[in-house]
């Protein structure tokens, strides 16, 4: 609740500072609230980071299946990471490849819609402690699986492993043949995924709508 309220207050103060909210009879107009921080690029990752952190095992209860040792481990890990690594651990980086040697797109949102829109055959997810190479079920069968050791994707993976303070777990998943749960659990922007296999009642779009309403309440 404190994390959620922090984002609401920050968003309200940002909108106020940039004079983005118009008032009518003392009430803020809904359509004018900017929850994406479009005027301030440095703040734009924050809504997704808060959204992801709210679904992270770090903030889950033992009753939800998260062992206390897991929360302590994550707290120690996160507190020791520098900002870019922490960003990756909280909201993983998802890139796509048209072939193991050709980068298609450097960053996707963590949603099935992004994968469908992209249409790329190969995806690489960097969650800091876990690296996943996922081949779409519609990928051309002629694409080598797993990717060859001398390709761009493997070079990228090896470079990341060398730079990490802890050695990440590497997984290869072939869509349509292997169990893709490990990969799909990271697509947290979907309404039915929260990163831990638990059913969530709110996707990222709904989360932004809820933040908008909370900002309006705060600014009354």
Sorted by where each begins, the domain ranges of the chain are 1-83+201-219, 92-185
pLDDT at 194 over 70: no
Alpha-carbon span 215 to 12, nearest angstrom: 6
- For residue 134, give the nearest of 94, 93, 175 by alpha carbon: 175
pLDDT of residue 106: 93
Least confident of 43-52, 109-118, 149-158: 109-118
**Helix, strand or coil for residue 105?**
strand
Which pLDDT belongs to residue 62? 75
Q: What is the pLDDT of residue 196?
A: 47
CA distances from 5 to 16, 97, 99, 155 (A): 16, 38, 43, 42
What average pLDDT does this structure show over 174-199? 77
- 191 burial level (CB within 10 Å; 0-12, 13-18, 19+): middle
The continuous run of DSSP H or E covering 172 comes out as strand 169-174
Among the listed residues 61, 54, 62, 124, the one whose alpha carbon sits nearest the alpha carbon of residue 90: 54
pTM recorded for the entire structure: 0.85
Given a cut of 50, is residue 195 above it in pLDDT? Answer: no
Coil/strand/helix, residue 198: coil
Q: If phi over 0 gives left and psi between -120 and 50 gives alpha, with beta otherwise, what is residue 37? A: left
pLDDT in the model for residue 29? 57
What token pair was written down for 139? 């990928």
28 pLDDT higher than 70: no
* Fold (CATH) for 92-185: Severin (3.40.20)
In the predicted model, what is the mean pLDDT of residues 178-189? 92
Cα of 145 vs its chain's centroid, Å: 26
Q: What is residue 201's predicted lDDT score, i.e. its pLDDT?
A: 55
Share the mean pLDDT of the chain: 89
Q: What is the C-alpha to C-alpha distance for residues 94 and 108, in angstroms, rounded to an integer? A: 5
Task: Find the helix or strand (DSSP H, E) in which 41 lies.
Answer: none
């Amino acid at each position: 609740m404190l994390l959620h309220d922090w984002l609401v207050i920050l968003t309200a103060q940002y909108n106020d500072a940039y004079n983005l909210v118009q008032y009518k009879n003392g009430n803020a107009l809904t359509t004018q609230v900017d929850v994406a921080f479009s005027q301030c690029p440095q703040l734009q990752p924050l809504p997704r980071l808060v959204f992801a952190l709210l679904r992270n095992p770090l903030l889950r209860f033992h009753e939800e299946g998260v062992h206390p040792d897991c929360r302590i481990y994550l707290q120690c890990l996160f507190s020791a990471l520098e900002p870019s690594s922490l960003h990756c651990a909280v909201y993983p980086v998802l890139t796509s490849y048209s072939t193991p040697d050709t980068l298609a797109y450097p960053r996707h949102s963590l949603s099935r819609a992004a994968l469908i829109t992209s249409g790329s055959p190969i995806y690489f997810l960097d969650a800091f402690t876990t690296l996943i190479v996922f081949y779409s079920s519609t990928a051309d069968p002629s694409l080598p699986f797993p990717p060859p050791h001398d390709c761009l994707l493997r070079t990228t993976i090896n470079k990341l492993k060398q730079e990490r303070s802890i050695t990440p777990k590497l997984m290869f998943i072939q869509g349509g043949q292997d169990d893709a749960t490990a990969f799909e659990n990271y697509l947290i922007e979907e309404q039915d995924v929260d990163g831990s296999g638990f059913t969530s009642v709110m996707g990222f779009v709904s989360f932004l709508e809820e933040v908008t309403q909370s900002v309006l309440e705060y600014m009354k």
